[in-house]
Amino acid sequence: MKEDIDTLKDDWLTDNSIAFWEEYLEREYLTQYPNANIVLLRPSMSFMLVQTPDPLTLKEALPDFSRTSHIFLPINDCRNPAIAEGGSHWSLLLVSVVDGVAFHYDSMHPSNASSAALTAEKMSTLLGKRLILKDLEDSPQQENSSDCGVFVCILMKHLLLGKLLKAARGEKIGMSMANKQIDAHKVRKEMLGIIENFRREGERRRR
């Protein structure tokens, strides 16, 4: 846990850090929309999906996607399942099941293009429907080599809160994040602040 928190300060985010952010978004926001059928798949599950030759064998381990409208998948470029916390770059794949489109947001475009294509292919097999991959070249770009996970987290939040949960039923949504200004340092401080608030709340409840 300490390692995960330390990476939030100025390093490449771990699987656990991104998974924590997804849990936070679910608990603080998604629970307020009981009719939203949106899944935030954990990095470990996204990785397992890519590594499994036949993704249909994972159906029992994965959420039931039969009524899901959108799926967020944090993906990285690791190809070796034997290496814990492997890979060197994160990007975000947002699958619109209802539209049959997989949107790819890469803050070091096109670094994760092949990983995105493979993940979309696996999801297509799992869902039993064709997915068109849209690699969004206008995605916000990071300025260093360590902020990719931070970009995944904040884009996930903007897409979820600013687009999907605000849209009326049946409304067509523009999924581009072009011209979105991202202050990675500010996002890291926000995430650390959330963890600190949870820690204090835990201590208060134990008294």
Active site residues: 89, 106, 148
Distance CA(5)–CA(7), nearest Å, equals 5
Rg (C-alpha) for the chain, rounded Å, is 17
**Closest alpha carbon to 106 in 97, 115, 98, 95:** 115
Query: For residue 170, which amino acid is it?
Result: G
Distance CA(44)–CA(166), nearest Å, equals 28
Decide: helix, strand or coil at residue 96. strand
Query: For residue 26, which amino acid is it?
Result: E
14 DSSP 8-state letter: P
Pair type for strands 101-105 and 90-96: antiparallel
Using a 10 angstrom Cβ sphere, with 0-12 exposed, 13-18 middle and 19 or more buried, the burial of residue 39 is buried
